[in-house]
């Protein structure tokens, strides 16, 4: 029964003899008392286990593959350092993410810079740090990057992002492989860009890149994407297959979720069959590396009953924007009174404290007699919770707490109220 209830919780999650949730051996309610709520809790063992699963799977099927963390999923220094220690590279999509990756200890030759609107300053930083690849997204990237590299007497390695006109089954907001996309170059434009880049001495074309979207559970879409770009790969050394593997956010998604092993097998087999053995493979998992490792703890503030039962917590859209952005679904439970699937409980809406009717974290929750003071836990918030956190309504951003072996440590402290005006410029 416990396994069923904890199917989407971090590895090692369990219940103590009182029925309280344990995360990394730590009592969830005691974590809430010690660190306050809302709080992001990350189980370090889960992070390391996922990183090792990716590295070992690629080593079995494509020795020498380069696996990078898509840092947009959780650009937290402690998370980045953990994954760097596990031997991963880093995919960044801005100058800020580049600075975070370098500060976390990633060697420049393990970093890729993405982005559909790279600034001059970002391209300068990439060249001057000597990063592994700048991913060409458009024609403007080519001209500016070539000039910047030439002015500094550098040769900058690049890959070209291809939009393969392949769409996975995911929300429109996180689908990126269709022809009408703000990302990448179409097949025909990629052909001309390959020739153009090869003619520029300040750039070295290493390969192609694609990323067709996030939260993908059907692996066949990756085969189709490789098939689309295969005719462009002649004479190139590397194919970067992006990321995209989804996670199970709710128990009913667990059976649909491919394993890391299956994901790697499908991608590598497609490259070997359609492009050949000569190309090096790169991959950039994000959500599937960090999503399951994190949970968010809240405290119930009020319970209101009118047409619905509204369970209001002390967080919401400032710490988890995904349900409001594109209807993402989550589970939620009372940390010391889990309900088994099919139990009646109280049908309710778990909502946040922010001034929007859309501030609904879980619209169809069932909780065991929720009341003020209860600690609620939402699993699978390790990806894009911290990354998208904001200070709407002047609510300070939550801390990040690492747990393992029954101990907890704060790796990002809670934002202070006075920091809300810390960047103000005093009047003259």
Encoded tokens for 345: 């409980």
Distance of CA 278 to the CA centre of its chain: 30
Sign, CA dihedral 81-86-87-89, equals negative
Count CB-CB contacts under 10 A for residue 63.
Answer: 9
Residues 6+ apart with CB under 8 A from 45: 10, 11, 12, 24, 404
Please check if 244 is assigned to a binding site. Answer: yes
- Which of 74, 90, 348, 355 is catalytic? The answer is 355
Question: Could you confirm whether 355 is annotated as catalytic?
Answer: yes
Encoded tokens for 330: 């989550």
Residues 6+ apart with CB under 8 A from 98: 92, 111, 113, 122, 125, 126, 129, 131
Please check if 422 is assigned to a binding site. Answer: no
Cα separation values, 143 from 115, 136, 200, 203, 209, Å: 15, 10, 9, 10, 19
Q: Tell me which residue has tokens 């209860």.
A: 374
Please check if 286 is assigned to a binding site. Answer: yes
Please check if 17 is assigned to a binding site. Answer: no
Please check if 285 is assigned to a binding site. Answer: yes
Please check if 40 is assigned to a binding site. Answer: no
Please check if 272 is assigned to a binding site. Answer: no
Please check if 356 is assigned to a binding site. Answer: yes
Query: What amino acid positions are annotated as catalytic residues?
Result: 355
- Point out the annotated binding site for substrate: 287, 322, 326, 356, 384
Binding residues: 244, 284-287, 322, 326, 356, 384
Annotated binding site for pyridoxal 5'-phosphate: 244, 284-287, 384
């Amino acid at each position: 029964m416990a396994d069923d209830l904890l199917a989407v919780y971090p590895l090692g999650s369990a219940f103590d003899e009182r029925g309280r949730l344990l995360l990394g051996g730590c009592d969830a309610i005691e974590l809430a008392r010690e660190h306050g709520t809302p709080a992001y809790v990350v189980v370090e063992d889960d992070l390391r286990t996922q990183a090792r699963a990716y590295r070992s799977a690629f080593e079995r099927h494509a020795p020498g593959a380069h696996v990078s963390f898509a840092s947009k999923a959780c650009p937290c220094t402690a998370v980045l350092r953990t994954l760097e220690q596990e031997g991963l590279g880093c995919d960044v999509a801005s100058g800020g993410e580049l600075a975070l990756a370098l500060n976390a200890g990633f060697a420049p030759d393990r970093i890729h810079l993405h982005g559909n609107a790279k600034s001059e300053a970002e391209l300068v930083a990439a060249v001057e740090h000597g990063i592994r690849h700048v991913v060409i997204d458009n024609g403007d990237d080519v001209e500016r990057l070539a000039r910047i590299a030439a002015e500094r007497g550098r040769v900058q390695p690049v890959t070209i992002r291809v939009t393969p006109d392949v769409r996975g089954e995911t929300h429109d907001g996180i689908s990126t492989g269709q022809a009408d996309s703000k990302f990448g170059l179409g097949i025909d434009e990629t052909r001309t860009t390959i020739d153009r880049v090869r003619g520029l001495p300040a750039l070295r074309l290493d390969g192609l890149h694609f990323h067709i979207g996030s939260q993908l559970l059907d692996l066949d879409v990756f085969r189709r994407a490789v098939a689309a770009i295969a005719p462009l790969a002649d004479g190139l050394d590397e194919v970067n297959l992006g990321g995209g593997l989804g996670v199970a956010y709710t128990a009913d998604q667990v059976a649909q979720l491919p394993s890391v092993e299956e994901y790697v097998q499908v991608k590598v087999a497609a490259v070997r069959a359609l492009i050949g053995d000569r190309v090096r493979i790169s991959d950039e998992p994000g959500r599937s590396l960090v999503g399951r490792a994190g949970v968010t703890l809240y405290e119930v503030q009020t319970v209101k009953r009118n047409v619905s039962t509204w369970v209001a917590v002390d967080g919401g859209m400032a710490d988890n924007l995904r349900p409001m952005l594109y209807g993402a679904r989550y589970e939620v439970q009372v940390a010391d009174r889990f309900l088994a699937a099919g139990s009646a409980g109280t049908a309710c809406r778990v909502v946040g404290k922010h001034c929007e009717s859309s501030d609904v974290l879980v619209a169809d929750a069932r909780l065991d007699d929720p009341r003020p003071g209860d600690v609620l836990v939402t699993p699978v918030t390790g990806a894009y919770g911290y990354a998208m956190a904001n200070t709407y309504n002047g609510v300070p951003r939550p801390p990040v707490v690492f747990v393992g072996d029954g101990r907890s440590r704060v790796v990002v402290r809670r934002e202070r109220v006075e920091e809300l005006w810390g960047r103000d410029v005093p009047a003259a």
